[in-house]
Amino acid sequence: MATPIQLNQANLQEVGSQMPVPIYDRSADKTDIVHIGVGGFHRAHLAYYLHLLKKDGEASSLCGIGLREADTKLHAIFKTQDHLYTLMVKHPNGTIEPEVIGSIVDFKMGTTDPQPVIERMAHASTTIVSLTITEGGYNFNPTTGEFNFDNPDVQHELRHPQNPITVYGFLTEALKRRRDAGLPAFTVLSCDNIEHNGDMMRKMLGAFAEAQDPDLAVWITQEVSFPNSMVDRITPVTTQADIETLAQNYDVADAWPVTCEPFIQWVVEDKFSNGRPAFEKVGVQFVPDVGPYEKMKLRLLNAGHSVLGLLGALHGHPTINTCVEDKLFATYLRAFLDQEATPILGNIEGINLEDYKNSLLERFANPNIKDSVSRICSESSAKLPKFLIPTIHENLAAGGSIHFATLVIAAWCYYSDKEEDQNRQPLEIIDALRGKLHDAAKKTEKEPLAFVKQERLFGALAENKHFAEIYTSMVHKLYQGVPIKKLMQDLG
């Protein structure tokens, strides 16, 4: 086999014989969006929307920022590929639609030398700093909802404002320099799966800035806007097989392509303190209040994923599509969505929830996506308090059903304790709180409520008698070895 063509700017024309490539101007002098957290999702979502706009003549482009050591891998790959990457859209019928995306034109790491990152953010041309820093990256105490000042990185940057480590230190230092230089503030645009993500960011940044420099905090409150936004596109982890498919079937060497589903959605509040590209031209919806859309997506799609992921992990299903191919799982998911998640959503203007749920099941069933259960279960300690636990609390308050969601919590306890499925196969557990979850879960046999007594995750759930009764009976059965599918069937 001939050596595949290395993806980079010089080879774009050659790559263009295999798939669409960007032919727009990629010079870095009009970089007005700076993005922190360039994972697969960002590359399939905001960077893709901007790519569509650039094809339509938009001059703005993106500079990616890495604030974690783990980002050095992408940094190195981007250097050899001139920040180009392939987006492989995977259709349910097996078709793959690859396209080279060129909207990211620069990438800077903030871990070794924070100055170039601060300067990029403080640069006159920067109008938006967007974020995908994951649910866990917001640094708040889940019990109190307040900023977590105990974080040692935060402590460090409060003492050394010019040497920031977290997103908070970088944003405040860059905003301070803008204020001092008489430049307008940029918009801080959160793109994470958190209800009221913009409001949350405003509150957290406000608390940090207040502790660091109260005058600056006042300026930030007056000048910076924090639109809430709902983001959606299923983006599985890239596999070696994806890299090989590109090399073998398309003759292109890309060390880190991104794969995703065809569906894409972005609903954003139109409040940008320093202007924005005309994203509405490429299908982005601008609405006055994104709250209902966010809630719908988090409580149906993301929670639905967690339901399948945790129950599927115990059973031994490897991917989300293998879960929904299993009729019992599909029926269970629908029952959870209809009986527990939907009743608390109320009406959402312009949305038919039946259609939305039908489309979710279709999206989850895409056999070409192969979204791993381990990705879905990763960081459950940051996800479930946003996706699923509030639904249990709200149903308890309203007298609604909680059985379907409670079995997921029981499964999560078993998963955290045993770290293997019910066939004794090891599970890949990725969670910042893995040790704590394991320690709490392993007390279950002596103290059945030990896992749900972790207040920072569950609030006062364990004190609710109705919940405690259902949960205790479920963990009891799981620990006796009753198969998860039998427990699911009993509820159906």
What does the binding site for ligand CS2 look like in residue numbers (CB under 6 A)?
193, 232-234, 302, 305, 376, 383
Cβ contact 52:238 at 8 Å: no
| Closest distance of CB 234 from ligand CS2, Å | 4
To ligand CS2, the closest distance from the beta carbon of 242 in angstroms equals 17
Host H or E run for residue 258: strand 258-260
Q: What burial class does residue 254 get, using C-beta atoms within 10 Å of its C-beta: 0-12 exposed, 13-18 middle, 19+ buried? A: buried
- Considering Cα of 249, then 251, then 256, then 259, what sign does the dihedral take? negative
Which CB sits closer to ligand CS2, 207 or 376? 376
Shortest Å distance, C-beta 238 to ligand CS2: 14
Write down the H helix ranges in 160-238: 167-180, 197-212, 214-223
* Nearest-approach distance from CB 132 to ligand CS2, in angstroms: 10
End-to-end CA distance of the chain: 53
Q: Return the number of the residue (33 or 260) whose C-beta is nearest ligand CS2.
A: 260
CA neighbor of 180 nearest in space, from 131, 213, 204, 225: 213
Element spanning 359, H or E: helix 353-365
Smaller CB distance to ligand CS2: residue 211 or 429? 429
Q: Quick one: 162 or 358, whose CB is closer to ligand CS2?
A: 358
Closest approach, Cβ 446 to ligand CS2, in A, equals 31
Nearest approach in angstroms of CB 134 to ligand CS2 is: 9
What is the identity of the amino acid at 128?
I
Closest CA to 480 of 419, 410, 428, 427: 410
Q: How many CB atoms lie within 10 A of CB 379?
A: 17
Least distance from ligand CS2 to the Cβ atom of residue 412, Å? 13
Q: Please say which residue, 61 or 235, places its beta carbon nearer to ligand CS2.
A: 235
Indicate the SS3 state at residue 394.
helix
Cα–Cα distance between 446 and 472 in angstroms, integer?
A: 12
Q: Which is nearer to ligand CS2, 109 or 307 (CB)?
A: 307
Q: How, if at all, do strands 96-101 and 252-253 pair?
A: unpaired
Our CB check for ligand CS2 shows the closer of 121 and 234 to be 234
Find, among 304, 409, 423, the residue nearest to 363 by Cα.
304
CB of 124 to ligand CS2, least distance (A): 33
In DSSP notation, 106-124 reads: EEEESSS--HHHHHHHHST
Q: Which of these, 312, 319, 338, lies nearest to 423 by C-alpha position?
A: 312
Q: Which is nearer to ligand CS2, 157 or 192 (CB)?
A: 192
| Residue facing ligand CS2 at closest CB distance | 305
